[in-house]
Amino acid sequence: MRGILLLFLLAFPLYAQDANSPGLQLIERLNRMTPAERQKMLNRMPPARRQMLEKRINNFNNIRPEAREKLKKDYEFFQQLPPEKRDDARRTLKQIADLPEERRKLVRGAVHNLRRQPDEIRDRRLASRAFNERFNEDERKLIREALAVLPPQAEPTQQ
Amino acid sequence: MNCILNTNEQEELLLGYCTAILDPETTRTYKRHLASCEHCRTMVELQKMVDESLGDWLPPTLSENFDQKLFARIRAEQEAPKPWWHFNFGWKPAIPLALAAILLAVFLVREPGKSELAQQQDGIKADEIAEVEKALDDMEALQALSTADTAPAAKESI
């Protein structure tokens, strides 16, 4: 009886993970195929859209393996958020992407760096005068919202 | 003396008296009681009738080779192959069977419907394409934050 329970416990997260990331699962399935098989699989798509999709999949595949693994983890974390929070997060990320280039780089850089900090240091930085002076109210809100939808990174790196 | 039919020892006394195995003193006492108790006299007579009937009964005669035949039949039944439902497997073999059934169920739930090859023949469905594009949108947006350290401004941002 205990064995059966254990098997369920082991099998369920696998199922749940796949069920939460069908898009990622499909990308991985396309990656396992030969070019001919992939061609057959995508043959119903309009050519321009298919080319774009293939280009984006190739870009994803060209990410360094360790960075890709990190990205997958971020994505799986993101996928586990409730749907309404996920939509909020998409809006936040879109708003960051729509910032003027200079401001966008600064905001993304801040999110990137703050994610690596332990909670206590991160909170102190978010409350600091430097942070308030460097970013306007909207940007500060975007940074806070982005930090809420991303898993913290385990190992803080040397700055 | 109270009637023995009202005591706990009634059966032993009655049978003992009828088969003459009681000690002399108890036999005498019981005889005295019988003289005054009609109920017990009736019971003794009935018991004697039963004993006499059993004495008259003769068991059926067995054939000479009855034992041989009996043991031969027992041996034949023991040696004959049993149908599978007569085997006693116990409950332990049920565990791997149950686990295998669960694994199969999990596999079927994970891959419902058609096989990967069959899906490949049909091509990717429109909703699946949308799923892939949505996943790529999300991952590209997340990646933009993860790769911010490559941007020169990132390190000085905070």
Q: Over range A38-44, report the average pLDDT.
A: 81
pLDDT of residue B59: 77
Interface contact A112-B146, CB threshold 8 A: yes
Render pLDDT for A93-136 as a digit per residue (tens, 0 to 9): 999 999 999 999 999 989 988 988 888 899 999 999 999 999 99
Total count of domains within chain B: 2
Give domain status of residue B44, yes or no.
yes
pLDDT of residue A12: 46
User: Within this chain, do residues B87 and B140 fall inside the same structural domain, yes or no?
Assistant: yes
The gap from C-alpha B113 to its chain's centroid, in whole angstroms, comes to: 39
> How far is residue B3's CA from residue B40's CA, in Å, rounded to a whole number?
7
Q: pTM for the whole thing?
A: 0.51
Binning pLDDT at 50, 70 and 90, where does residue A139 land?
A: very high
Strand, coil or helix: what is A130?
Answer: helix
CB atoms < 10 A from the CB of A5, how many? 9
Mutate to test the interface with A, among B132, B134, B137 (most CBs of A within 10 A): B132
Q: Over range A13-24, report the average pLDDT.
A: 60
Render pLDDT for B101-118 as a digit per residue (tens, 0 to 9): 888 887 776 654 445 555
Interface contact B154-A44, CB threshold 8 A: no
Nearest chain A Cα distance for residue B89, angstroms: 18
Interface contact A44-B148, CB threshold 8 A: no
Residue (of B8, B46, B92, B33) closest to A1 by Cα position: B92
Render pLDDT for B46-71 as a digit per residue (tens, 0 to 9): 888 888 888 777 778 888 888 888 99
pLDDT of residue A14: 46
Which residue is closest to B148 within chain A, CA to CA?
A: A109
Q: Are A85 and A149 in contact (CB under 8 A)?
A: yes
Interface contact A41-B154, CB threshold 8 A: no
pLDDT of residue A157: 42
More confident residue, B94 or B131: B131
Partners of residue B153 in chain A, C-beta under 8 Å: 102, 105-106, 109
Nearest chain A Cα distance for residue B8, angstroms: 53
Give domain status of residue B119, yes or no.
yes
Partners of residue B139 in chain A, C-beta under 8 Å: 24, 60, 71, 75
Give domain status of residue B66, yes or no.
no
Domain span at residue B96 reads 81-147
Nearest chain A Cα distance for residue B90, angstroms: 15
Asked whether the predicted pLDDT for residue A35 surpasses 60, the reply is yes
